[in-house]
């Protein structure tokens, strides 16, 4: 399990590891490599090789005439698209402000080169009598160029916000390739905005990093009039992976993976009952809100040190604290949190654009009388076990566990947690400064009741994004929970041996407000029991208003 822990830590830091003819290779392709991590990787290289080279068939190019099945993850999104109709819940938008002397022709040429290079970006999906298939189409990406430079400033900004929102929320037709769109907006001679959007069925978070790195490399080459693009040929394409996954993940292999998860999740409560501000609607929507805050450098560094002292990673320490928060909010001691994994278990998949990501379910069974170290040990064990059995597609897990289905919430878990430690996803363009503008979309998509996403802020701290279902929660409620999470982290660091059920999770000001310590008591209560006080008031003033809601009142 020590090797799995190292493997998990490396992947969370964006460090690529692979086995090459019996040798361990590692490279900080998109993340950071610390000297301590490099030394431990070298020390445990044989154990890591055993983890990286499990017995599985070779991944190779498909026959050209072969029908192309969907991967398991793609099939789930295809089913949801057919069930729910077109929507933007699985759009992956990106908006970048480009400042400098931009070569628009090089931008267009680079984008089209990336689309030609990756078959996933030219894939469309068709329905047949035997089920859906993917087809790689011969299409070229159309990139409109819009000029807003002649508009007054306020009108230009309003138009830009509308374009960013449109880019993020316009649905795709999965039967029409490419499932990617792009647009260049000119604000002035040295100010442009690039709008990109991909559907999740052909991309994932790791893929967006691949796209931007290749885009940046191609742009630099085209601006410099390079004869050949500086990118090595891809050994396989995404449809090759889908076919490989279908042929390998069956029979004993599938049953072995499934057995682990069934054992882990049998008996899991159906619903995480967070206290909602509104009744849960019968059908889940995707309209979400966002609360953003920051975890400071000192707190993050201290949690990282505490986790390492117990043989865990920063991810595990933060996840363990998130589970404690959910337990305190819901009153449940048995709960589950979903977390995404890149699931690129073969080195040939590292540089591909496509939907490889899988979802792992980490169950938390909390003993409120035990200390944080005990709970962290459980989270460590279950996280490593999940990584070891990450090949089972989430949709297969749901089918096998077969939880009680309800259209009002997602199966198995309703809260998710992620830590994206990879950095450097924005390319370095010659003479250009790039700045993300996704916040202008002013609308989030909430796939779950509550999601916490953390990523480095560039200064050693973490930027926290809390995404919530607006049908259930108010922003002020989620803000209180974000504050409570930060307070819990501080409590864990100050008193790690304290029972997790006794850890402070409200600030002094919140406690004072809740308990009314800031205001003197007007008079002593006439009765000792609360229900007796209600009965006395009802008897004395039977016609007084007791409850008001919108335009309704009850005496």
In a 3-state reduction of DSSP, which class is residue 306? helix
CATH code of the domain containing 198: 3.30.559.10
Distance CA 389, CA 334 (A): 21
Domain membership flag for residue 296? yes
Both tokens assigned to 342:
């890149």
Domain membership flag for residue 469? yes
Taking each helix axis from N to C end, the angle separating 394-401 and 72-84, rounded to the nearest 10 degrees, works out to: 70
Q: Are residues 22 and 130 in the same domain?
A: no
CATH code of the domain containing 11: 1.10.10
For the chain, the distance separating the N- and C-terminal CA atoms, rounded to the nearest angstrom, is: 63
Distance CA 191, CA 214 (A): 22
Domain membership flag for residue 448? yes
Least confident residue range of 27-41, 270-284, 295-309 = 27-41
- The pLDDT assigned to 525 comes to 53
Identify whether the C-beta of residue 16 lies closer than 8 Å to the C-beta of residue 44.
no
Distance CA 463, CA 436 (A): 14
Beta-carbon count within 10 A of 79 CB: 13
∠ CA 135-352-240, nearest 5°, is 45
Q: Are residues 180 and 37 in the same domain?
A: no
Distance CA 478, CA 322 (A): 13
Q: Are residues 452 and 399 in the same domain?
A: yes
With cut-offs at 50, 70 and 90, classify the pLDDT of residue 540.
Answer: confident
Both tokens assigned to 420:
């994206």
In a 3-state reduction of DSSP, which class is residue 530? helix
Identify whether the C-beta of residue 372 lies closer than 8 Å to the C-beta of residue 492.
yes
Per-residue pLDDT tens over the stretch 416-455: 999 986 544 566 777 888 888 865 555 678 999 999 999 8
Per-residue pLDDT tens over the stretch 66-83: 789 999 999 999 998 998
- The pLDDT assigned to 331 comes to 95
Domain membership flag for residue 249? no
Q: What percent of the chain has pLDDT over 70?
A: 84
Domain ends where: 240, 269, 299?
240
Give the phi and the psi of residue 133 in degrees, each rounded to 5.
-130, 155
With cut-offs at 50, 70 and 90, classify the pLDDT of residue 409.
Answer: very high
Q: Are residues 223 and 369 in the same domain?
A: no
Per-residue pLDDT tens over the stretch 339-386: 998 888 787 888 999 999 999 999 999 999 999 999 999 999 999 889
H or E element, residue 25 = strand 23-27
Q: If you average pLDDT over every residue of the chain, what do you get?
A: 86
Q: Are residues 329 and 361 in the same domain?
A: yes
Q: What percent of the chain has pLDDT over 90?
A: 57
Question: Would strands 131-136 and 145-147 be described as parallel, antiparallel, or unpaired?
Answer: unpaired
Nearest Cα neighbor of 199 from 86, 282, 99 is 86
Distance CA 159, CA 79 (A): 35
Domain membership flag for residue 228? yes
**Which stretch, 247-251, 289-293, 320-324, has highest mean pLDDT?**
320-324
Place of tokens 């003197």: 520
- The pLDDT assigned to 154 comes to 93
Q: Is the pLDDT of residue 523 over 60?
A: no
Q: Are residues 45 and 80 in the same domain?
A: no
Q: Largest Cα–Cα distance in the chain?
A: 91
Beta-carbon count within 10 A of 153 CB: 8
Q: Are residues 220 and 303 in the same domain?
A: no
Torsion of CA 252, 255, 261, 267, to 10 degrees: -150
Q: How many domains does the chain have?
A: 4
Identify whether the C-beta of residue 4 lies closer than 8 Å to the C-beta of residue 395.
no
Identify whether the C-beta of residue 210 lies closer than 8 Å to the C-beta of residue 352.
yes
Q: Is the dihedral of CA 236, 241, 244, 248 positive or negative?
A: positive
Nearest Cα neighbor of 292 from 485, 464, 67 is 464
Domain ends where: 483, 498, 515?
515
Both tokens assigned to 248:
């390998």
Paired strand residues for 363? 336
Q: Are residues 416 and 456 in the same domain?
A: yes
- The pLDDT assigned to 1 comes to 46
**Residue 232 belongs to domain spanning:** 72-240
∠ CA 329-277-80, nearest 5°, is 90
Domain ends where: 9, 30, 55?
55
Q: Is the pLDDT of residue 44 over 70?
A: no
Domain membership flag for residue 349? no
Q: Are residues 368 and 455 in the same domain?
A: yes
Give the phi and the psi of residue 201 in degrees, each rounded to 5.
-70, -15
Q: Report residue 1 CA to chain centroid gap.
A: 25
Those residues with Cβ within 8 angstroms of residue 78's Cβ, 6 or more apart along the chain or in another chain: 70, 125, 132, 174, 201
Q: Are residues 210 and 144 in the same domain?
A: yes
Which residue spans within 28-100 are E strands per DSSP? 91-100
Q: Are residues 380 and 510 in the same domain?
A: yes
Q: Are residues 183 and 322 in the same domain?
A: no
Least confident residue range of 114-118, 222-226, 481-485 = 222-226
Distance CA 531, CA 513 (A): 23
Distance CA 308, CA 15 (A): 18
Question: Would strands 191-199 and 450-456 be described as parallel, antiparallel, or unpaired?
Answer: unpaired
Distance CA 269, CA 15 (A): 36
Domain membership flag for residue 245? no
Domain membership flag for residue 322? yes
Q: Is the pLDDT of residue 160 over 50?
A: yes
Which residue spans within 261-374 are E strands per DSSP? 287-295, 334-341, 358-365
Per-residue pLDDT tens over the stretch 15-36: 666 555 556 666 554 445 555 6
CATH code of the domain containing 503: 3.30.559.30
């Amino acid at each position: 399990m020590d090797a799995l822990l190292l493997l998990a830590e490396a992947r969370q830091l964006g460090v690529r590891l692979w086995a090459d003819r019996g040798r361990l290779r590692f490279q900080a392709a998109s993340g950071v490599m610390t000297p301590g991590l490099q030394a431990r990787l070298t020390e445990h290289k044989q154990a890591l090789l055993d983890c990286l080279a499990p017995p599985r068939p070779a991944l190779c190019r498909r026959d050209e005439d072969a029908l192309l099945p969907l991967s398991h993850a793609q099939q789930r999104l295809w089913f949801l698209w057919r069930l729910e109709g077109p929507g933007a819940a699985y759009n992956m938008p990106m908006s970048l402000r480009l400042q400098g002397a931009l070569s628009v022709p090089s931008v267009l040429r680079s984008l089209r080169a990336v689309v030609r290079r990756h078959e996933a970006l030219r894939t469309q999906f068709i329905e047949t009598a035997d089920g859906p298939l993917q087809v790689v189409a011969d299409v070229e990406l159309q990139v409109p160029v819009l000029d807003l430079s002649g508009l007054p400033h306020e009108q230009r900004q309003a138009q830009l916000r509308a374009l960013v929102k449109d880019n993020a929320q316009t649905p795709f037709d999965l039967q029409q390739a490419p499932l990617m769109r792009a647009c260049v907006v000119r604000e002035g001679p040295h100010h442009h905005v690039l709008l990109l959007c991909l559907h999740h069925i052909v991309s994932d978070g790791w893929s967006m990093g691949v796209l931007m790195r290749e885009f940046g490399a191609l742009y630099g080459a085209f601006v410099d009039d390079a004869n050949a693009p500086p990118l090595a040929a891809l050994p396989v394409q995404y449809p090759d992976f889908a076919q490989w996954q279908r042929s390998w993940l069956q029979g004993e292999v599938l049953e072995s993976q499934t057995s682990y998860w069934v054992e882990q999740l049998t008996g899991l409560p159906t619903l995480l009952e967070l206290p909602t501000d509104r009744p849960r609607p019968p059908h889940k929507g995707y309209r979400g809100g966002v609360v953003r805050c920051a975890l400071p450098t000192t707190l993050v560094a201290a949690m990282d040190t505490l986790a390492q002292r117990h043989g865990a990673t920063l991810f595990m320490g933060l996840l363990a604290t998130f589970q404690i928060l959910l337990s305190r909010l819901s009153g449940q001691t048995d709960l589950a949190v979903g977390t995404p994994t890149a699931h690129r278990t073969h080195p040939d998949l590292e540089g591909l654009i496509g939907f490889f990501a899988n979802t792992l379910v980490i169950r938390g069974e909390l003993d409120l009388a035990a200390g944080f170290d005990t709970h962290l040990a459980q989270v460590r064990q279950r996280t490593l076990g999940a990584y070891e059995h990450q090949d089972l597609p989430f949709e297969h897990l749901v089918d096998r566990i077969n939880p009680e289905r309800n259209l009002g919430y997602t199966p198995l878990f309703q809260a998710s947690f992620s830590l994206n430690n990879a950095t450097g996803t924005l390319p370095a363009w010659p003479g250009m400064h790039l700045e993300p503008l996704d916040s202008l979309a002013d609308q989030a998509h909430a796939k779950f009741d509550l999601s916490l996403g953390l990523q480095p802020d560039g200064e050693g701290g973490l930027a926290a994004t809390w995404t919530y279902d607006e049908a259930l929660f108010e922003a002020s409620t989620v803000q209180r929970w974000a504050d409570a999470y930060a307070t819990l982290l501080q409590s864990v660091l100050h008193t790690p041996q304290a029972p997790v059920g006794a850890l402070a999770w409200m600030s002094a000001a919140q406690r004072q407000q809740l308990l009314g310590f800031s205001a003197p008591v007007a008079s002593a209560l006439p009765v000792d029991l609360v229900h007796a006080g209600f009965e006395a008031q009802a008897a004395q003033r039977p016609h007084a208003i007791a409850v008001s809601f919108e335009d309704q009142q009850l005496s």
